[in-house]
Amino acid sequence: MSKTLSQQLFTRATQRIPGGVNSPVRAWKAVGGDPLFIQRARGSNVWDADGRQYIDYIGSWGPMILGHAHPKVLTAIHEAMRDGTSFGAPTAREIEMAEVICAALPSIEMVRLVSSGTEATMAAIRLARGFTGRPKILKFDGCYHGHVDSLLVRAGSGAATFGVPDSAGIPEAIVSNTMVAGFNDLNMVARYFEAEGKNIAAVILEPVVGNMGVLVPRAGFLDGVRALTRQHGALLIFDEVMTGFRLSYGGAQQCYGIDPDMTCLGKIVGGGMPLAAFGGKRPIMEKLAPLGPVYQAGTLSGNPLAVAAGLKTLELINKGGVYEQLENSSARLEAGLREALAVYRGKACLNRVGSMWTLFFGVAAVSDAATSRQCDTETFGRWFRGMLERGVYLPPSQFEAAFVSLAHSDSDIDETVQAAREVLAQLA
Ligand code: KE4
């Protein structure tokens, strides 16, 4: 059978790009087969190189809350680029972005823009250590915070997908100050603080985990972590790269009523362009160069085009009814999938928070990384391919979150549910 254009492109890509992709999870190693090469996207749809159309639930891994190629976002980028693409100098719109972020997340009094979520978490960790003078960081098994050396320990997302939670190339010395607790295991966090409290600079976590598939914080867990960090003088860093502006305009911290010391943002904040941020309480942020001794920098930080795209995106989602619409669409999808699951004889469970969701196979409930890792990834692969054949493009890994956007129509949702019914029936 002749190769599709995607397959031809993949063969060519593998000659010059490791694995043929610029980010591992895109290679589909977790689900098998050759990855689709995407030609274009608009609204809730993507089209592959062979012209096939799909309903998209990856949404570029979270940024596309408006749907793809929103005309007002494209216009904002076009207008900005007429004045140039990058200056390496401060611009007025960066002040506007900083003010918008601080207004949206009152826990943030000052903010620094960077170009990726990885940069944001890496800088936040360094700043926490610089501010507290303490060496240790506590993260959670399965939480992924980007490919930061000291945080690629028992990480989720692509790292979990590859079954190599700890990456090669990271000397023991780098991770010797990284401690790992179980997500939702408050007793374990308390034991770490009993043993190391005075040495812990910060606790960093995804308040709602997306990178083991969706994990929901148990009642009291986030409050408990906040109380322990305050009690021991450690900083609480909320990695809201995925949940920021996703779960509400004020992020997970607004949903759960937590006041973190620092927050990392990404994805939606850039509207699909390379923009991320880390911010927090003024005394902490004022430790950053050029004011203070903690160094952090970036050639393209606050890039004019990315900030223009981000500002327009945030403007368009800061309106009444937006998160109600996302909730209604996501609840409609959840109800349909649960009804489809009723006829599925195998074990499966659906976790959803707002417009982030994951269908897990092989387990009846998933509440932490350990139960997520017990999933049947082979069945997940068959689910993924079955849905793809029916025109539904899901994240190519059990350990990822899927996303509903404002562009997903009721008919998109109903088509997705119908496809699920057919796939689940054949999976049983
Ligand atoms: P980036 O460096 O990829 O912009 O952000 C890293 C990051 C940090 N924190 C959280 C909670 C994240 O989810 C991410 C990145 N998410 C993955 C998807 N799970 C990006 C997709 C990829 O790695 O290709």
Strand, helix or coil for residue 46: strand
Give the C-alpha separation, 219 to 159, whole Å.
Answer: 28
- The answer, yes or no, to whether residue 161 has pLDDT greater than 60, is no
SS3 of 199-225: the string is HEEEEEECCCECECECECCCCCHHHHH
Identify whether the C-beta of residue 218 lies closer than 8 Å to the C-beta of residue 106.
Answer: no
Q: Looking at the domain 5-69+321-427, which fold is it?
A: Aspartate Aminotransferase, domain 1 (3.90.1150)
Q: 161 CB under 6 A from ligand 1?
A: no
Q: Please list, residue by residue across 367-376, b when 16 or more beta carbons sit within 10 angstroms of its beta carbon and e when fewer do.
A: bbbebbbebb
Q: Is the CB of 118 under 6 A from ligand 1?
A: yes
Q: Could you tell me whether strands 262-265 and 235-240 are parallel, antiparallel, or unpaired per DSSP bridges?
A: parallel
> In degrees rounded to 5, what are phi and psi of residue 31?
-120, -10
Pocket test for ligand 1, best of 61, 273, 358 (most atoms within 8 A of CB): 61
d(CA 301, CA 371): 38
Q: What is the mean pLDDT of residues 175-196?
A: 95
CATH class of 71-317: alpha beta
Q: Which of 54, 144, 256, 323 is catalytic?
A: 144
| Active-site residue (options: 256, 267, 393, 412) | 267
User: How many residues would you count in the chain?
Assistant: 428
Average pLDDT, the chain: 96
pLDDT band at 164 (very low <50, low <70, confident <90, very high): very low
- Check residue 124 and give its pLDDT: 98
CA of residue 1 to ligand 1 center, whole Å: 36
Can 393 be counted among the known catalytic residues?
A: no
| pLDDT digit string, tens, across residues 323-357 | 999 999 999 999 999 999 998 999 999 999 999 99
Q: How far is CA 204 from CA 101, 119, 193, 243, in A?
A: 20, 14, 14, 14
d(CA 236, CA 227): 10
Domain ranges of the chain: 5-69+321-427, 71-317
Do the domains 71-317 and 5-69+321-427 match in fold?
no
Please state, in angstroms and rounded to a whole number, the distance separating the CA atoms of residues 259 and 56: 33
Can you tell me which atom of ligand 1 is nearest the CA of 118? 2
Q: What is the mean pLDDT of residues 171-199?
A: 93
Asked if 261 and 120 count as a contact pair (C-beta separation under 8 A), the reply is: no
**Collapsing DSSP states into helix, strand and coil, what is residue 24?**
helix
Instruction: Give residue 56 CA to ligand 1 midpoint distance, Å.
Output: 18
pTM over 0.85: yes
Q: Which of 238, 240, 242, 262 to mutate to test the pocket of ligand 1 (most atoms within 8 A of CB)?
A: 242
Cα–Cα dist 122/296, whole Å: 9
Compute the distance between CA of residue 343 and CA of residue 93 in angstroms, rounded to an integer.
53
Q: What residue owns the CA closest to ligand 1's atom 20? A: 61
Q: Among 85-94, 164-173, 202-211, which is the least confidently predicted range?
A: 164-173
Peptide bond into 290 cis (omega under 30): yes
Indicate if 144 belongs to the active site.
Answer: yes
Please give the DSSP secondary-structure letter assigned to residue 338.
H
Q: In the chain, what percentage of residues exceed pLDDT 90?
A: 93
256 part of the active site: no
Candidates 239, 261, 368, 412; catalytic one: 239
**β-bridge mates for residue 56, sequence order:** 393
Separation between Cα atoms, residue 252 and residue 256, nearest integer Å? 6
398 lines ligand 1 (CB under 6 A): no
Residue 163 has pLDDT above 80, yes or no: no
Sheet (strand 348-353) strand order = 348-353, 356-361, 402-403
Which tens digit of pLDDT belongs to each residue from 94-122?
999 999 999 999 999 999 999 999 999 99
